[in-house]
Structure 1
Amino acid sequence: MAGLYEIWQRAEVSRRLDVLSGFIAMCVAGDNDAQRRFNQLVVGADAALSASPPDLVVASEYLDELVWWAETEWADHPYRPVEARPDEADRQTRDYAKDLRHAALSVRVRDEMGRIELSLEVRFLALCRQPGLGCRIRQDVFYVAGRAAMALDLGHLEAAEREIRRMEQVGSVEPRQSSCG
């Protein structure tokens, strides 16, 4: 399986390519020369991303050309996509990366990850619904649930299960007198 960093980079290029290519496709509709240029750039980027191993340098060069084209031709267009803020870009890239990683895993591993993910969600929601759960403990439950989700994202099933057990331990602690601010 490809390294996680490579999957992340590929997902980042794919995300940006998808967003920008949709916009440019709309802008070049009806202009045969522009459509031809657009198709060459997108096909080149897709081929580089689909290669084994993916050629991220070449794909990024095609993407840079599309970015430059959009910025010079349609700079004032009201629907020209702008780069997402870092947190939003990471959320979108994470979704792409999960899809790429998912495709590289065996059915058995995907099923096991699905089981653990469902377990995490059910147990997390059960803990959050407990009456009288203090603010500090609730924050700790959220934090440890995030660690379990991150372990799943990284493909570490044992670590995810360990964090789920830890989350349950944190959520079962008797609340102490404390204020949360």
Structure 2
Amino acid sequence: MRMAPVIVGLGGSTSAVSVTGLALDRCLALAAEGGAEVRAFDGPFLAGLPIFSVDATPSAAAVELAEAVRGADALVVATPGYHGGMSGLVKNALDHLELLRDDRRPYLDGRAVGIVVTSSGWQACGTTLVAARSAVHALRGWPTPLGVMINSAEQYPDASGRFDARAEGALTVMTQQLLDFAGWQAAARAAVS
């Protein structure tokens, strides 16, 4: 029986200095410190996914992503805010979760999903967080009570990848919510077994 929760992170951008990618890495580091097994699907990986098509044979990368999510207890979705919504890169990755449609737990069912949005301005952060939470709901996931918004114009990480106290605190709280939810789900499954 698996003891450590598995948390899959997806997101970032293709930029080598992606604030979104750094935020995703920070969440996964915090989750690992909390005892989770973590796996990241970063911007360069997501950029290699073909544009999702219902009629296309899934690529090896799409199958790899779907298999990881299938085995996950929780997810972190990190996206830059582009024009009031999530990036096409992240949305395309979520679209590939259609491969989980016929699972016993379809899509993101029964999984907590922490959402991190970065943008150079608070308005784009807010609208993107709402859009990302809506997509997670549509995929039957459970967005954490706290979604994290990082204004990259004001909250750029330092050389170690850590953010200012407000952003760091929010990432810590959201990650703990993921760990708590995964623990509660595991306990509930064990109680009915």
TM-score, normalised by the number of residues in structure 2:
0.27
Which structure is richer in relative contact order (CA contacts within 8 A, separation 6 or more)?
Answer: 2
Greater share of helix: 1
Greater share of strand: 2
